Structure 1
Amino acid sequence: MLGIVAAVLFFFAFLINAADISTNDVFTSTNVMLIGLTLLALHVAGVGSGWSTRRR
């Protein structure tokens, strides 16, 4: 799930950069890309994967 959200954020960052949209300082294409990279790293680390181990 986090991987899909990261892909969507990468797409928004690409659109902001490609269309040369002027945004405020918080919502720049670089910041959106960094949030996407953070979510992608969490996805690769296994956070939010939905799998849980049960101990007996």
Structure 2
Amino acid sequence: MLAIVAAIVFGIAFLFSLIGTSIGISTTALIALGLCLLALHQAGIGTSSVGSGHWRGRNRR
């Protein structure tokens, strides 16, 4: 989920860079936010592993 949000943030930063507009936050800050979200995604934060059964072991009886 965080990777999708990071992709949206990167897309917004790219569009603002192309158009040359600003909403009060710099493009660099948006890129830093996107990188932070990607780092959290890689760390496993924001993933929904509850209910998927990965932590129990699939073939254990």
The aligned residue for residue 48 of structure 1 is 46
Gaps of 5+ in 1: none
Gaps of 5+ in 2: 57-61
C-alpha RMSD of matched pairs (Å)? 1.4
Shift of 1:51: 1.1
Mark the structure with the bigger radius of gyration: 2
Deviations 1:1-56 (A, max 9, x none): 000000000000001111111442xx1111011001000000011001111446xx
Deviation beyond 2 Å, 4+ runs, structure 1: none
Paired residues in the alignment total 52
TM-score (normalised: structure 1): 0.81
The aligned residue for residue 11 of structure 1 is 11
Sequence identity of aligned pairs in percent?
A: 44
Measured at CA, do residues 20 and 42 of structure 1 come closer, stay the same or move farther in structure 2, by a change above 3 Å? same
Higher helix share: 1
